[in-house]
């Protein structure tokens, strides 16, 4: 059965598929997606990585659904991703592989997501994406004048099911509410006439 097409919301990830997010804002994108997906959430990161999601900083409703897996080594990490994608009641699997995925590994993860009807999000490093991924996002924070929210610049630069896009949004970080912010355009002055 083919995956359902995403809704009109540009940030809705196609279910039962694996997606990728890169850039300095990739973890914010993951938390945004975690707040939007119902059910248990699995976050997989290598055991030696010191940076972990902190419960007080998570969006509302995410902390009590979050399960953190810390495998030792890349082979165990890929095994954890594949097995949790196959687990049908899981709402979203977020994983942080440290090495680039081969096409074979990426395809195995897509098949696991289809089998479990689970959505996956891989937080990748620059140049470490897989050709098998459904979508690939480049995520970066932007400077903001408001102290209670953060501007994000999210670019969809690979999309097997549609067109690419580029958005700036204002997301508070504690709920799923967001506002799209239009970029300031260039102001064109009339050309001076020659005398």
Note the pLDDT of residue 1.
Answer: 40
pLDDT above 80: residue 176? no
pLDDT above 70: residue 120? yes
Interval 16-72: pLDDT, tens:
999 999 999 999 899 999 998 999 999 999 888 887 777 667 788 888 899 999 999
Note the pLDDT of residue 192.
Answer: 58
Cα 124 to Cα 143: distance, rounded to the nearest angstrom: 23
Note the pLDDT of residue 136.
Answer: 95
DSSP bridge pairs for 92: 41, 119
């Amino acid at each position: 059965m083919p995956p359902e097409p995403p809704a009109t919301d540009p940030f809705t990830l196609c279910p039962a598929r694996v997606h990728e997010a890169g850039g300095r804002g990739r973890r914010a994108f993951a938390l945004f997606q975690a707040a939007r997906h119902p059910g248990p959430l699995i976050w997989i990161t290598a055991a030696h990585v010191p940076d972990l999601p902190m419960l007080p900083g998570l969006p509302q409703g995410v902390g009590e659904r979050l399960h953190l897996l810390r495998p030792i080594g890349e082979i165990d990490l890929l095994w954890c991703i594949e097995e949790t994608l196959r687990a049908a009641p899981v709402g979203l699997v977020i994983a942080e592989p440290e090495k680039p995925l081969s096409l074979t590994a990426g395809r195995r993860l897509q098949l696991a997501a289809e089998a479990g009807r689970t959505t996956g999000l891989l937080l990748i490093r620059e140049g470490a994406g897989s050709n098998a991924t459904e979508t690939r996002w480049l995520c970066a924070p932007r400077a903001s004048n408001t102290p209670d929210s953060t501007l994000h610049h999210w670019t969809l630069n690979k999309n097997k099911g549609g067109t690419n896009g580029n958005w700036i949004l204002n997301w508070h970080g504690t709920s799923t509410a967001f506002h799209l912010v239009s970029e300031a355009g260039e102001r064109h002055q009339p050309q001076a006439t020659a005398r």
